[in-house]
Every structure is written in structure tokens, then in C-alpha cells.
Structure 1
Amino acid sequence: MLLAIDAGNTNIVFALFDGDDRADRTIRARWRIATDPRRTGDEYAVWLLQLLAIEGVPREDVRRVIIGSVVPRANHNLSVLARRYFGVEPLIAGEGEAGWGIELDVAEPRSLGADRALNAIAAHRRHGGDLIILDFGTATTLDVVDFRGAYKGGIIAPGINLSLEALVSNTAKLPRIAILPPEAASVIGRNTEEQMRIGIFWGYVAMIEGLVARLRAEVGRPAKVIATGGLALLFDQHTDLFDAVDPDLTLHGLAICAERTPS
């Protein structure tokens, strides 16, 4: 089995893949833990080995580990987890034999986040053609991948949770609200919470629809829009923007990187 570890700014996702090749590889289980670079390899192991036992998977069945990370300080302890508790040398996505394998047609390829490169790799294989990938994470990113699989660049915007946090933290009287679509069809809010929810939710929908329209115009060819990340399914219910929602895109990118790398 393959253990894929996606270390993001807010959470680290561990996914266990069944199967030895891409024809039958599926995600058997996934687990999420808050990102904390101070967490040691031993602490990860206590938590993860219990979850594997609940799933009925002996640790010896995990024969490969790949790490994709946008949190460099977490990499050492995740690598310790792989070496000490699974007896394998982890692959680091984007490094050495686990290189991206795609063209990064941007001014500073080394500055591209691992999650965005992994999304590009997975989206090209799973969806094909010209693509615009929206990833709703701590930040919301929009990435353009051409029909050959080359990464062409994109956009970084504050994630909706960051936008809401900034609004609440910098005002004296505005309350904390959940990120939910407004209950009423009207965009004229009748109280403070309604007005905040309209501004945050429909303002965010307007932003992504506007940015995608500009990207499509610049690409100049029909481009499919692929959404991923925690809030993709929520937004999918309130816009016809997405051609597909692929919640595990980054994890599948990790699996593809591992597949390309000799055992």
C-alpha cells in the first residue's frame, strides 16, 4: 500500500491507497490532523498507527510513503515517521526521482507550491484538455494547465475563511458567522448577520466567476473548470461554473508521482 501525506497550511491529510498500479489504485482511507510543525514523528505515529489498526491494516502493509508539503518545517518529522515506523525512505514530491514530470512554464518554477503542481498533474491525467483548477484551501488558488499538461501560471486569492477572519478580527461589533449560503434569495440583507453572509458568500462566488471568465478569455480555447478543496462541494451547489468537482485531486497527484518513481 501507498501512504500519501498532503501537508497543507491548515491540515495534514494522510491517505491510504490500495492497488499497485493506476488501473486499480483507490483511496481506502483518509485521515486529517491540524498542521503543527512542532509535532514529532513519534506523535504522528501514536495517532496514525491507531487509525491503521482500526482500519485493520498492519503497518507492514504500507510499503511506500510520499510526502507533498507546503510547510517545510513539517517535512523532517513526517520523514521520521516514515523511516522509524514504516521502515521506508519517503519520497518528497517535486524532489529527486519524485520530480513533477511536467513543464512548469512560469518565471519562478521553484516557488510553485507542491499542492498546485500535484493538482496540475492529477487534473491533466483525470480530466485532460485545457484546464482551470480551483482549489479552495487556506488560500484559494486558480491554476491554468494547457492541453499538453504544462503548468502555465495562475492566481492566488485569500481563502474565504481568511476573508471572514479578517473582517471579524478588524471590526468591533461584527459577529462570527458560519460560512453558509444566505437563506433568502434576496441580496438585500435585513440584519447584520444576513448582510455579512451575503457579502462573504455571494461576494466569493462573484469573485471566482469573474476570475475564471478572465482566465478563459486569456487562454483563448475552451477550458474545463475543475474544483477541489474543502468548500468545492458547497460552492458547486450555487454556481454552474464547475465542469467537475474532484475533492481528492492533490492526493491523486501524490499517487501519480509515486507511480512514476521506481520502487
Structure 2
Amino acid sequence: MDLQQYVIDIGNSRIKGAAFANDNLVEGSVRIFERNDWSEIYREITNHQAKKLLYSTVANVPPSILLHKLQSEGRKVYSLDHNSPLPFTNGYESPETLGKDRLAAVAGAMSLRSEGNFLVVDAGTCVTLDLLTMADETYRGGIISPGVHMRLKAMHEGTARLPLVTPDQSKGALKLGKNTTDAVRLGGQLGVANEVAGFYAKLNAEFAPLTLILTGGDADMIDLHLDRNSFSDYALEPHLVLLGLNKILRAC
């Protein structure tokens, strides 16, 4: 019988959860939860009869009463941190400060490909770009920069007259703004996309062949502005962090 696991990704703006049967994502199990909706999360865990759980958080932690309840039911509950067993060598100089979502995303890349090198891009509140080399299975580090929403907000709050603009996926085909709203919007959206493409080109010169793996809440929007033909290999994977959490949980 397949062992049922459940993983929870607690981000800055949302919580995602999913069930796995060994290495396989259970179809239809991916859920996005409201903040602090722990009763619904508990219901999902019990519905899937999960015996092992792993949560990763960059924000608030699950309430202790929930964790104790799960443990009292015989479920093993783990929290991802820098001491967790990882499927790669962590080359970060301050592993205790490395975002858990970044660790999970890199582990998720190893679930998709077994060869080559990876630039893992998580486009959310912030954009993280992280390098994994597979010959030595080592995480080399990366960069953190403002996400699309943060850039748009900064342009509004840091100037006297620029409007507060929201992203718009329908503007993906535009290359130039012909009004201030579109100019600001494209500055945020294209700024991230061009940063990704530029960083990829720089690393690919040294670590080719390099696969770009894109994930995160703004991944679809960034994808519209990327030329896939400029990458040796490319994957858009919305569940990358969940896949990585399960890979780590399997080793716990």
C-alpha cells in the first residue's frame, strides 16, 4: 500500500497543501487555503489519511494545538529547517538564514530532472533565482530581488505622481507602454522577466547546459514575457515547492 504524505507550504501571501502517495502527487489534492484556516488544513490531512507531514514556513507557524493533535493521532510531523535531510549539498554560507521555500524549490527541481544544471526561479512576493549543479548535487546560492507587485508598489510610493498599477497578464505581448499606466506595468513585469533571462545567460556561459525551472504565484505572468527558445531547457512547474517538500519528507 502506498504511504500517504501531506506537505504544507506557508508563504508570505498564501498557504498551499498537497497529498502524495510515495513520490506521486495525488490527483486533485493541491489546495490553496485562507490564512490561518487550520481547521480546513486538518480536514485535508485526515481525509487523505496522511501518516507523515512536513510543513515549511516563511511566515507564521501552525498552532501548537494542531501539531499536538496530529502527533497524538500517531502522525509524524516535521518542520523544514536547515538541519532537515536534503537531497543535495547546501553550499550556502549561512544555511540557517536560507529561505525554506528556496530549499524546497531546489529539491523540487531534482524531482523533475536527473541530469544537467538548474536555475530555479520562484516568482512570488520576492523573486528568487537559485543555482543547483547536478554533477556534485550542490546548491551554489542565488539572488533575491523584488517581485512584480513589490516593484509596482515601490514606484508608486517612491514618486510623487506615478500611479499604483496592478499587473495584467493580458499585457504579455506588449513591449513598450504607450501610456503611463502601461509603462509602469511593463516596467514591473518586463523588469522581472529580463532579470531572469539576463541571469540565466550569465550562468549558462559557465554552467551549460542549464535548465530554467519557473514557479511561484507570478510564474504564468513572467512566462508570457520570456522567449523559451533562448533557454537550453525550460519548465513551468506550478507545484515545484510541493514536489520538493515531498522529496525532503521522503528522507525524514
Q: Report which stretch shifted further, 171-180 or 190-199.
A: 171-180
Quote the offset at 1:164 in angstroms: 1.0
Quote the offset at 1:28 in angstroms: 3.4
C-alpha spacing 1:184/1:11, structure 2 compared with 1 (3 Å): closer
Cα distance in 2 for residues equivalent to 1:138 and 1:223:
25
Q: Quote the residue 2:189 is aligned against.
A: 201
| Cα deviation code 1:153-212 (max 9, x no counterpart) | 11111111111111122334333322125377451x332212212222222222221122
C-alpha spacing 1:76/1:34, structure 2 compared with 1 (3 Å): closer
Q: Quote the residue 1:112 is aligned against.
A: 98
Partner amino acid, structure 1, of 2:88: I
Cα distance in 2 for residues equivalent to 1:224 and 1:184:
24
Tell me, yes or no, if structure 1 residue 150 matches structure 2 residue 153.
no
Quote the offset at 1:70 in angstroms: 2.0
Cα distance in 2 for residues equivalent to 1:209 and 1:225:
9
C-alpha spacing 1:49/1:118, structure 2 compared with 1 (3 Å): closer
Structure 2 residues without counterparts, runs of 5 or longer:
none
Give the TM-score normalised by structure 1.
Answer: 0.80
Tell me, yes or no, if structure 1 residue 3 matches structure 2 residue 6.
yes
Cα distance in 1 for residues equivalent to 2:140 and 2:157:
35
Q: Quote the residue 1:16 is aligned against.
A: 19
Give the TM-score normalised by structure 2.
Answer: 0.83
Cα distance in 2 for residues equivalent to 1:253 and 1:183:
29
Asked if the contact 2:5/2:51 (under 8 Å) is kept, the reply is yes
Partner amino acid, structure 2, of 1:226: I
Across the aligned residues of Structure 1 and Structure 2, the Cα RMSD in angstroms comes to 2.5
Q: State which of 166, 186, 193 in structure 1 corresponds to 2:154.
A: 166
Cα distance in 1 for residues equivalent to 2:220 and 2:138:
26
Tell me, yes or no, if structure 1 residue 258 matches structure 2 residue 244.
no
Asked if the contact 1:228/1:247 (under 8 Å) is kept, the reply is yes
- Higher RCO structure (Cα 8 Å, ≥6 apart): 2
Q: Quote the residue 1:178 is aligned against.
A: 166
Q: Quote the residue 1:214 is aligned against.
A: 202
**What does 1:1-263 align with in structure 2 at a 5 Å threshold?**
1-17=4-20, 19=21, 21-22=22-23, 24-35=24-35, 39=36, 44-45=38-39, 47-49=40-42, 52=44, 58-59=46-47, 61-71=49-59, 74-75=60-61, 77=63, 79-85=64-70, 87=73, 88-94=75-81, 98-128=84-114, 129-147=116-134, 148-181=136-169, 182=171, 185=174, 187=176, 189-219=177-207, 221-241=208-228, 243-261=234-252
C-alpha spacing 1:95/1:205, structure 2 compared with 1 (3 Å): closer
Aligned pairs, number? 240
C-alpha spacing 1:75/1:184, structure 2 compared with 1 (3 Å): closer
Partner amino acid, structure 1, of 2:97: S
Quote the offset at 1:34 in angstroms: 4.9
C-alpha spacing 1:68/1:257, structure 2 compared with 1 (3 Å): same
Structure 1 residues without counterparts, runs of 5 or longer:
none
Partner amino acid, structure 2, of 1:48: I
| Cα deviation code 1:17-48 (max 9, x no counterpart) | 2x2x22x443532222355xxx4xxx511x33
Cα distance in 2 for residues equivalent to 1:95 and 1:110:
5
Cα distance in 2 for residues equivalent to 1:239 and 1:99:
34
